[in-house]
Amino acid sequence: MKSFDAIVIGGGQAGPFLAARMVEKGMKVALIERKFLGGTCVNAGCMPTKTLVASARAAYVARNSAVYGVNIPGEIAIDMKVVRARAETVTMNARNGLIGWFAGMDGMTVIYGHARFEDPKTVSVNGETLTAPRIFLNVGARPVIPDLPGINDIDYLTSTSIIHLDTLPRHLAVIGGSYIGLEFAQMYRRFGAEVSVIEHGPKLASREDEDISDAIADVLRSEGIDIHTGVSDIAFARSSDGITVATDSARIDASHVLIATGRKPNTDDLGLDAAGVISDKHGYITVDDRLATNVDGIWGLGDCNGHGAFTHTSYNDFEIAAANLLDGADRKLSSRILAYALYIDPPLGRVGMTEKQARASGRKIMISTRPMSRVGRANERGETKGFMKVIADAETKKILGAAILGIEGDEVIHGIIDAMNAGTTYPALQWSVPIHPTVSELIPTVLGDLKPV
């Protein structure tokens, strides 16, 4: 049996950085990764998909260049092999960077294999047994495949496999109208495919307020994406030239099907029972406010704990654990203000409560909205779709949440994220003097228009 000061299972965005911090403190650490270092973000999420989004936007801008007085003769062609290779290069550069970093780190042992608990202090991997007083689980999540009629009779794509396509689908049917599905829908429409989105719920991006969901749908429809919501029945069958997707309201002749109906944690084969670690009915590891499980000496980090399925929330889990365990701090999960983005174009930047959540909280609230058509930078760029929305507490004057769907919305939202984390009241932020012409300069104006609901 090999002994370590700590064992980290999973090479995503929390565990490896925590492992590195522990090594810096002179600890002996084993990092066990089943497949690739970097987790979903590096290998099948943020980095490759946003690289693909950038290629899709380049195609969109080229096709619409005449609006800006730039005439490009001939057809705008897409070389999917180059598109794919570019995304793979970004992934490999990041992955190899991690490999090189850890290889030069004394005290770090990287093991590739499938780890399972033998008991609360012991794991087995590749026929070896390892033990440590501290074990950190950072095993991530994977796509959920729903049990739908005919699904096992077709060759479907997931968010992991679709990034490896080097040919353009004739017609892509996207099953699921949430964040992952919508990003791929717009991306492949811009590459030149016909695209249909099929969503069980009444709205796309169901986590958002209805006005945001409706605006997202308008953006996608304006680019020729076919959207079906409120679909209760879906069935698949092979056809002579692809896949037939039959719903209760439509019949779609697709060449490819992307299943984007959510993700589930990679916890079902960790041997959690042998360690006594509790998980919920969906498999998410139950953790307290400091990310500790019910078993002393075991922590759950990142996507597998169900507290934010994002790279930045996973990294923040590392920050919380490192600060508490290594720096004598007392940081809490409950102090985190959730923020995220939807990377369609224009993007959606989101932080804090939705209007629906704020109303349900019983607070006296104030709301302000502003169309992007009132933003100088948006007009200059010819990108005026979307709007800004801010929700505030009428009594405390604190900002409760915001949504910016529009040009650079994923960047502009950070002004509000920072204000909320600093506890700044909206009147104080209202009197800032932003740079002109920017999208951010409209934030004080939006705050000045806050009115009681």
Provide the pairing of β-strand 263-265 with 141-143.
antiparallel
Percent of the chain topping pLDDT 90? 99
Nearest one of 234, 174, 230, 232 to 202, comparing CA atoms = 230
pLDDT in tens, 92-142: 999 999 999 999 999 999 999 999 999 999 999 999 999 999 999 999 999
Residue type, 256: H
Decide whether 2-142+264-335 matches 151-261 in CATH topology: yes
Show Cβ contacts of residue 420 under 8 Å, excluding neighbours closer than 6 positions. 337, 351, 352, 398, 399
Number of Cβ atoms within 10 Å of the Cβ of 210 = 13
Fold exhibited by the domain 339-452: Enolase-like; domain 1 (3.30.390)
The pLDDT assigned to 270 comes to 97
pLDDT bucket at 153, cuts 50 / 70 / 90: very high
CA-to-CA distance for 255 and 382, rounded, in angstroms? 34
Tokens of 434: 């932003």
- DSSP symbol at 286: P
Nearest one of 440, 412, 409, 417 to 347, comparing CA atoms = 409
Are the CB atoms for 359 and 209 separated by under 8 Å?
no
Is 314 buried (19+), middle (13-18) or exposed (0-12) by CB count in 10 A? buried
Does 309 score more than 90 pLDDT? Answer: no
**Which residue is listed with tokens 């077709």?**
154
- For the chain, the structural domain boundaries read 2-142+264-335, 151-261, 339-452
CA-to-CA distance for 7 and 109, rounded, in angstroms? 10
Note the CATH architecture for domain 2-142+264-335: 3-Layer(bba) Sandwich (3.50)
Provide the pairing of β-strand 108-112 with 141-143.
unpaired
Does 340 score more than 90 pLDDT? Answer: yes
Question: Cis omega before residue 346 (within 30°)?
Answer: yes
Does 24 score more than 90 pLDDT? Answer: yes
Ramachandran angles phi, psi of 285, nearest 5°: -70, 130
pLDDT (average), residues 64-86: 96
Nearest one of 305, 302, 316, 325 to 33, comparing CA atoms = 302
pLDDT (average), residues 39-54: 96
Ramachandran angles phi, psi of 129, nearest 5°: -115, 130
The pLDDT assigned to 247 comes to 95
pLDDT (average), residues 406-425: 97
Ramachandran angles phi, psi of 58, nearest 5°: -60, -40
- Superfamily name with CATH number, domain 151-261: FAD/NAD(P)-binding domain (3.50.50.60)
The pLDDT assigned to 334 comes to 97
| CA–CA–CA angle 326, 322, 25 (5° rounding) | 45
CA-to-CA distance for 333 and 210, rounded, in angstroms? 28
pLDDT in tens, 207-244: 999 999 999 999 999 999 999 999 999 999 999 999 99
Within 13 Å and on the Cβ side, how many CA atoms surround 246? 8
Q: What letters, b where the CB count within 10 A reaches 16 and e where it falls short, cover 254-264? A: bbbbbbbbbbb
Residue 230 — left, alpha, or beta (φ > 0 → left; ψ -120 to 50 → alpha)?
Answer: left
3-state SS assignment for residue 348: strand
Residues that are catalytic: 436
What pTM did the predictor assign?
Answer: 0.96
